[in-house]
Amino acid sequence: MKNVDLVIIGGGPAGMSAAISAFSSGVSDILILERGGELGGILGQCIHNGFGLHKFKEELTGPEYAWRYEEQIEMLKIPYMLNTMVTGITKDKKITAVNSAEGIFEIQTKAIILAMGCRERSKGALNIPGSRPVGVYSAGTVQKYVNLKGYLPGREVVILGSGDIGLIMARRMTLEGAKVRAVCEIMPYSSGLARNVQQCLNDFGIPLKLSHTVVEIHGKSRLTGVTIAKVDENLKPVMDTKEYIPCDTLLLSVGLIPENDLSKDIGIEFDSVTGGPVVDQNRQTTVSGIFACGNVLHVHDLVDYVSDEAEIAGRAAAGYINQKAGTAINIPIKTDGKIRYTVPQRFTECNKTVLYFRTAGVYNNAVVNVRDGDKIICSKKKRKLLPAEMETITLTEEMICSVNSGCLSVELEVAEND
């Protein structure tokens, strides 16, 4: 059995950033375990630009953004293993992994950072009635075929779901000469970033059909078309609005799910809204010494925020290994439903903390209030809040230290709701 101070599971943007941060916080005995053939995770297939605007004040492509971190990993000589699948972790931080060179091996570690990312919700999970022809894929799978393998699965495309990967792929398929007939979104608003709706759909004249879904898949061996329909306010299809669209490819961009298969059985508490672990301001889970960051914790829309979050986790994991604990408190953070969730979900130390949150719907001219009992300790006005766009509110050390009621509540005061 190997012994390593810090094992990071996943060598994507979260894992790399966490490793660099832990290294610069004084831990050098680190090992990144990456299941893919290279570092960078999903960024490798995201060849479009728009990455790094916050972090580097530059517009980078996915591989360029990843390379900024890979360079540092190489420079700092942080060890990593590629094509290495972690098959198990235990509460007392024993890791089992497998690769071709070493076979099945175990590592005992002092701290673990979970950075496994997320996966796409599959076609099966949607349970759309009809046949099961070839031609129905999750958008990320096709992104891999097109951008990494260099092949197209079809030429006449309908996209279900307006998640960012779906929007990006609408443009990508169009640039490859495919005809994207429509993007259907069951909600009355896009689930992708506003900038992607503009740059990937509007700029190419691709219709975004809000409050629409696919109600039937047609074609025995190859996909020949889909029937779409409008949905009512309960998201139930209105059958007399049915419309047939011929297509040979249906791409699904209907949600991302944090991939916690490894971490689900080690006693970590999970947040049923995010699908990721409940963490404190240090991104430490409810099992001490196990941290989480990036899309395995909650799905992000911008990689820049993933890097920020991973830096926190890396720094904190280094602190944990070097036994630098702050004063222990326990202040859970509640939300009111209009705010769907926050990350972190609790405080265990009084540190200045950026709270990340998402709203459940579209809200205009709203005020975000952080309440301690009856007292509002922090407020932030927002002109527009969209479920697709992650928001932040910053709490100072003093605010957290002076909490009286034992818990904080994050609420939305809405002037106008559409």
Query: Quick one: which H or E segment has residue 306?
Result: helix 303-321
112-141 in b/e form (b: 16+ CB < 10 A) is bbbbbbbebbebeebebeeeebebbbbbbb
Interaction of residue 119 with another protein, rule CB under 8 A? yes
Shortest CB 23 distance to another protein, Å:
27
Among 63, 133, 332, 387, binds another protein (CB under 8 A): 133
Q: Per CB under 8 A, which of residues 31..70 are in contact with another protein? A: 35
Interaction of residue 409 with another protein, rule CB under 8 A? no
Interaction of residue 101 with another protein, rule CB under 8 A? yes
87 vs 364, beta carbon nearer another protein? 87
Among 20, 146, 165, 366, binds another protein (CB under 8 A): 146
58 vs 176, beta carbon nearer another protein? 176
Size of the site for another protein (CB under 8 A): 50
124 vs 205, beta carbon nearer another protein? 124
229 vs 343, beta carbon nearer another protein? 229
Q: Per CB under 8 A, which of residues 206..235 are in contact with another protein? A: 215-217, 220-222
Query: Quick one: which H or E segment has residue 257?
Result: strand 256-258
Please give the Cα distance from 123 to 159 (Å, whole number): 12
CB–CB of 266/90 below 8 Å? yes
How large is the C-alpha radius of gyration of the chain? 22
Please give the C-alpha separations between residue 53 and each of 61, 96, 171, 387, in angstroms, as whole numbers. 11, 37, 20, 21
CB–CB of 227/218 below 8 Å? yes
Per-residue interface string for the shown chain with another protein, residues 177-196, x marking contact by CB under 8 A: x-------------------
CB–CB of 20/78 below 8 Å? yes
Q: Which residues bind another protein (CB under 8 A)?
A: 35, 83, 85, 87, 98-104, 119-120, 122-125, 127, 129-134, 137-138, 140-141, 144-146, 148-155, 176-177, 215-217, 220-222, 248, 261, 264
